[in-house]
Chains A and B, each alone.
Chain A
């Protein structure tokens, strides 16, 4: 499992304790926050941009996420999950909140009719890094319906009802595919909380 996100600046020490860095940020250590920015801003921005799409809004939401990390660093509990999961969860929730707000509503109507399922776009935009390749390979091991349910929800920011509508399947089916697909992805990636 990759503990420690990359992107933004080249890293001399790939691993290192991201959780410890967040602990220092929680105590107001601005140098630690700068280091955290360098380690994680690429992962945050990349995900936000993938979901939000609009460049200006992506930059805004990225800033919101990083400031939320600064503001709530003391609430990170390493016993409940990894620092990476905590950060990515914050980023994803904010990105999804933005796309579901009124501002982005018009864009989403256009995107919803696009022919390509989101998975194809993932294949284009993902960096050729070992971890990204592993994710892509594990996504390949899902059934098509599982993969589309998961990627439409995660990268597209759609609710499970919207995914059911987009795929033309029953809501119960989508719920099951999302869960089964994530379970399979989790096991393929060897992921622990």
Chain B
């Protein structure tokens, strides 16, 4: 059952319990951006759920402590969110290009060389792009905290030790960029210059794997040709990401041929 716009509040409990699928969660978080009462309620329900969590407290094995502390010492931290939103212009072009010459859909994303981590400079650039997108959709003050949470999720994926980036070009124009972390079971998806759609149509994202095709949410409306980063979490046994044109309410199964597809590294 798709998230119903007429009845958003009933999902607050399931949301606080982490009982929503990625698509439903993304839809509900978009609703939260527009409803301050809902944000307040969701926060209080999360606090109640956290008490359920604490009730299960149990000491971990004693050897875990040294292992975690040693690993932390080797792990980079995210810098604090600086006041970058207003001053950033998003980069005009992402890094890399698409494979040339193939007609029709781009069926193979350009995988970066299999480095164990993104280069520091590249990660920094991507983070700036992400924060820049966050700035693009920042209209009113009340949306600031949701965008901060969103940016935190984005930044977490991009700074994961196994983060890998891929881009793919759509035959009709435009490109998508994905940064994914297997360890986080999550990816961040942005698009640039996809063709504008008629009223009532939106781009929908799909995850495809051996288990079939499942919806992963709608791309937000583009600003200056770019869509704000979308985080897709709970990835499991997914090896392709696709984007199709669907009606604005979204579809449960793709009804049109993909405008672009990315192969995810295994």
Contact = CB atoms under 8 A, between A and B. Distances in A.
Interface stretch (A13-21, A109-117, A158-166): A158-166
A75 B237 contact: no
Interface stretch (B152-160, B196-204, B218-226): B152-160
Interface in A103-141: 122, 125-127, 129, 131-132, 135-136, 139
B34 interface: no
B50 to A, nearest CB: 4
Interface residues on B, range: 35 or more
Contact of A63 (B51, B71, B76): B71
Instruction: Describe B's contact surface by its main secondary structure.
Output: helix
Interface stretch (B10-18, B98-106, B123-131, B248-256): B10-18
A102 interface: yes
A126 to B, nearest CB: 5
12 contacts: A37-B68, A49-B58, A70-B75, A74-B78, A80-B145, A91-B53, A96-B18, A126-B56, A135-B54, A136-B55, A158-B19, A178-B14
A33 B40 CA distance: 30
Nearest to B145: A80
A179 B12 contact: yes
A159 to B, nearest CB: 5
Given A67-B72, A74-B78, A186 B45 contact: yes
Contacts of B21: 159, 161
A72 B148 contact: no
B55 A63 contact: no
Contacts of B65: 8, 34, 37-38, 41
6 smallest beta-carbon distances between A and B, as pairs: A179-B13, A178-B13, A193-B43, A46-B58, A88-B50, A45-B60
